[in-house]
Chain A
Amino acid sequence: RKEVEQDPGPFNVPEGATVAFNCTYSNSASQSFFWYRQDCRKEPKLLMSVYSSGNEDGRFTAQLNRASQYISLLIRDSKLSDSATYLCVVTTSGGSYIPTFGRGTSLIVHP
């Protein structure tokens, strides 16, 4: 089983739609969680951290469920510019905080 698993998609949604992605992780000792965004032929960039209590940044909401070992990302009122690949990242401490990336979920927002 891969350490971090995501549905690759693509998720194809119209502008204005709400879309949600899930990500599961296998290591219960994982401590930090992030969502990154990667545009085509670009490097991954941090979208938002995921906190235990859940957190929101504008149209984006991230949640963590430690008991079930998954994190989620909700995007409301999708924009064309949200089209990208969203990477789930889990960091596990074994003395070092090493980020492990999921394969990513592709989102396509169409007019």
Chain B
Amino acid sequence: DAGVIQSPRHEVTEMGQEVTLRCKPISGHDYLFWYRQTMMRGLELLIYFNNNVPIDDSGMPEDRFSAKMPNASFSTLKIQPSEPRDSAVYFCASSLARGRTEAFFGQGTRLTVV
């Protein structure tokens, strides 16, 4: 398996533009997580899915953020409109639906909003 695949790796966009981040989890994994990492706040859980269903989106900063998982092999995180404070590295991770199983991370998308 190729692991968790995220695209794009880097994104530079202007304030106000829509940004869509993409993730392909590891096949067979039941959970998918979206994290945001900044120097100030570390790794923050934004939202997670179980079997394609969003379970907890309490970490999503505001209504400008939305996430979908239309099928078991694809998820998106969308920011509309983007703001400079959204600049961060966004990680997608997946894991099996069991305790004591590790979460596998994608390489992340480095987002810069100017």
Chain A residues packing against B (C-beta within 8 Å): 31-32, 34, 42-46, 49, 87, 89, 91, 93, 96-104
Contacts and interface: CB of A to CB of B under 8 A. Distances in A.
Nearest to A6: B42
Interface of B is mostly: strand
Contacts, number: 51
B45 A100 contact: yes
B106 interface: yes
Classify the secondary structure of A's interface with B: strand
B45 A98 contact: yes
B106 A101 contact: no
Contacts of B42: 101-104
B99 A32 contact: yes
* Interface-centre pick from B31, B45, B101 (highest chain A CB count, 10 A): B101
A45 B105 contact: yes
